[in-house]
Structure 1
Amino acid sequence: MKRILIPTDFSKYADQAIEAGAQIAKKNNAEIVLIHMLELPGQSNDAVTGETSIPAIMLFKQKADEILKSIKDRPYLKGIPITEVILLDNVYKGIATYANKNDIDLIVMGSHGSSGFEEIFIGTNTEKVVRLSNIPVLIIKQEVDQLDIKKIVFASDFSKEIKKPFLELLKFAKIFNAKLKLVMICTPNSFKSTTAAEKIMKEFVAEFDMPDYSMETYNDTNIEKGIINYANAKNADLIALCTHGRTALTHFFSGSISEDLVNHTSRPVVTFKI
């Protein structure tokens, strides 16, 4: 892991992501790219000839540049190579496009507690970054004094299409020397016997050089509650999910499970694209 992209809107939630990203960067001798998106009125048509004048755009850019430079001077970023980027673009498209074109290994984003996204991360922006980005996205939910990831819960249906992103998860777990807790959530609408679920999971992991790990099934009323309750029961440091590029989460994670999960858990969440 050499380059970590951290979008910032200068909110305290983005600052939490920067602190977490700094800890990961120090573990990997990685560079941090701080990116601020200037999404201005009239931009969807023409930012220059629309509602925002060129002097106003330059003023916004100058102020953003000053703040980014002040962020670089924070003590916890000392010794980490920092690149500052300001782009005039749609927030989620700009973040995903920059990450995909600039050899970014991880995107770290901040969000507001367990009650939704704030500032540039309101609503579906984070969901769309996850959906568009080919890069893993780590979502930080609260202030992190020490990002000590020792237990990672990975919830899945363990289908064939999960194999490629699962390899990325194994690399991520290796960075932290973390134990993987693999779980298949069984609900009334997607029930499997323990024997059937264990068979699927054992056949899945047999193809990989596995680190320290365990496998379990967990019963709950729905997938989202099952993941959250299982992660709470195991006191997990991180929840890992696989996402689909077209329709958020596929198969096991249908509908808006990813967005709901991120909104309703206080734990960090990392997503890997199928």
Structure 2
Amino acid sequence: MKNILVPYDFSDVAHHALNFATDLARKGSDCKVTLINVIEQPTPDTIKTMGIVGHDPMQSLYIKMLIDTAKGKMEAIMADSSYKDITLKYKIVLGQPFKEISEEIKTSGIELVVMGTSGSSGAEEFLVGSNAERMVRYSKCPVITIAKATSASDVKDIVLASNYHDVPTSFVEHVKKLQKIFGAKLRMVKINTPASFTSTRHDRKQMEEFISKFGIENYTHESYNFSNEEDGVIAYAEDIDADLIAIGTRQRRGVGHFLAGSIAEDVVNHSQVPVWTFGLDNA
């Protein structure tokens, strides 16, 4: 892994994401971390709400102030001795967060996005709600979401939540790469719900075939009963004291509804441990 992108809005969770990303970068060689701060251009209505009177001249002045403030904060991070052993840089761009982050992924060869699951309030806020969910669902590269301070060095057990049916080979290869980076055990689980129940015998056979087909190593596997999939994933991770959850997403519902985007997004929104997601439509 050579390029990690951290959407950064100067909030606590963004800083947690930065620390996780730099810790992860230390596990590889020649890995660089880029911080991207997206400044959304205010509309005339937004400017009025903020108490700024005027049109283009005042708007331009206000945006320049935001850019200068962001640059000062970024330069302070660059000067932090905690990151002196990391190749760290930053970008400040104007636009819509999802669009600008997606463009950066495409043009800079980003291999992983690490981002907080909530953001700050006010003009710098862009990691909350729909923006984070859109990144999880539509990102062309894997995304790790961070809810609280976590060290990448502490990741020893990774929950892989799946239905283990019609999973693209490319997705599994990304999971195996993730497991190798952390040197972690893969804790494979299938969540059984009343609405979509299969027997333990069926699940065991399905997972063993999956393991054999993809050459999975250093793992455990089991089925887990719960009222719904998303809460079941989180409950299982809590029960085994897992350090990270890995789950696939889909841009639309299709074969294997368990892996549909909304379930992964619900897990991201409620999990206290980091969540790695990658689009099955990208695989």
Give how far 1:103 is off: 0.7
- CA distances 1:153-183 after superposition (whole Å, capped 9, x unpaired): 0010112234321210110110111000111
- Structure 2 unmatched runs, 5+: 45-54
Aligned length: 265
Instruction: Pick closer, same or farther for the CA change 1:240–1:53 going to 2, 3 Å.
Output: same
Which stretch shows the higher mean deviation, 140-149 or 150-159?
140-149
Distance 1:248 1:54, change over 3 A: farther
Of 147, 164, 184, 1:158 maps to 164
Q: Is the 8 A contact 1:248 1:254 kept in 2?
A: yes
RMSD of the TM alignment (CA)? Answer: 2.3
Question: What is the match of residue 49 of structure 2?
Answer: none
* Counterparts of 2:268 and 2:251, CA distance in 1: 17
Q: Is the 8 A contact 1:239 1:269 kept in 2?
A: yes
1:182 aligns with 2:188: yes
Q: Which amino acid aligns with 2:223?
A: T
- Using the alignment, how far apart are the partners of 2:209 and 2:16 within structure 1? 39
Q: Deviations over 1:20-52 (max 9, x none)?
A: 111001111310001000112139xxxxx8696
Whole-Å separation in 2 of the counterparts to 1:76 and 1:246: 41
What percent of counterpart residues are identical?
Answer: 37
Deviations 1:51-73 (A, max 9, x none): 96333322221221111111112
| Native 8 Å contact 2:25 2:32 kept in 1 | yes
Matched, 1:131 2:137: yes
Indicate the SS of the match to 1:76. Answer: helix
Whole-angstrom distance in 2 between the partners of 1:57 and 1:249 = 46
Cα distance, 1:51–1:221 mapped onto 2, change above 3 Å: farther
Q: CA separation of 1:62/1:246 partners in 2, compared to 1, >3 Å: closer, same or farther?
A: farther
Task: Indicate the residue corresponding to 1:46 in structure 2.
Answer: none
2:276 to 262, 265, 270: 270
Distance 2:218 2:71 in 1: 44
Q: Contact 1:169–1:272 (CA<8 Å) still a contact in 2?
A: no
Q: Which amino acid aligns with 1:128?
A: R
Structure 1 residues 255 and 138 mapped into 2: Cα distance closer, same or farther (>3 Å)? closer
| 1:244 Cα deviation after fit | 1.3
- Corresponding residue of 1:22: 22
Matches of 1:133 and 1:208, distance apart in 2: 24
Would you say the 8 A contact 2:246–2:277 is kept in 1?
A: yes
Whole-angstrom distance in 2 between the partners of 1:64 and 1:145: 26
Check if 1:37 corresponds to 2:43: no
Q: Residues of 1 paired with 2:271 and 2:254: CA distance? A: 18
Query: Aligned partners of 2:260, 2:79: CA distance in 1, in Å?
Result: 43
The one-letter code of the counterpart of 2:7 is P
> Which deviates more, 173-182 or 146-155?
146-155
Q: 1:168 to 1:265 in 2, by over 3 A?
A: same
Q: Which residue of 1 aligns with 2:50?
A: none
Residues 69-109 of structure 1, C-alpha deviations (whole Å, 9 max, x = no match)? 11112232111111211111111221122112211111000
Letter in 1 for 2:32: E
Please, which moves more after superposition, 239-248 or 67-76? 239-248
Residue 10 of structure 1 aligns to which amino acid in structure 2?
A: F
The alignment's TM-score, normalised by the length of structure 2, stands at 0.87
Work out whether residues 7 and 34 of structure 1, in 8 Å CA contact, stay in contact via their aligned partners in 2.
yes
Could you tell me the TM-score, scaled by structure 1's length?
Answer: 0.89
| Shift in alpha-carbon separation, 1:84–1:249, aligned structure 2, 3 A | farther
Cα drift, residue 196 of structure 1: 1.1
1:230 to 233, 236, 239: 236
CA distance in 2, matches of 1:145, 1:249: 35
Displacement of 1:201? 1.4
Matching residue of 1:93: 99
| Structure 1 unaligned blocks of 5 or more | 44-48
Structure-1 separation of matches of 2:91 and 2:217? 36
Deviations along 1:245-272, one digit per CA (max 9) or x if unpaired, are: 3469961144732232222221110101
SS in 2 for 1:28: coil
Counterpart contact for 1:19–1:76, Cα < 8 Å: no
- Check whether the contact 1:97–1:133 (CA below 8 A) recurs between aligned residues: no
Higher helix share: 2
Aligned to 2:108, which of 77, 102, 123?
A: 102
1:143 is aligned to: 149
Which residue does 1:243 correspond to in 2? 249
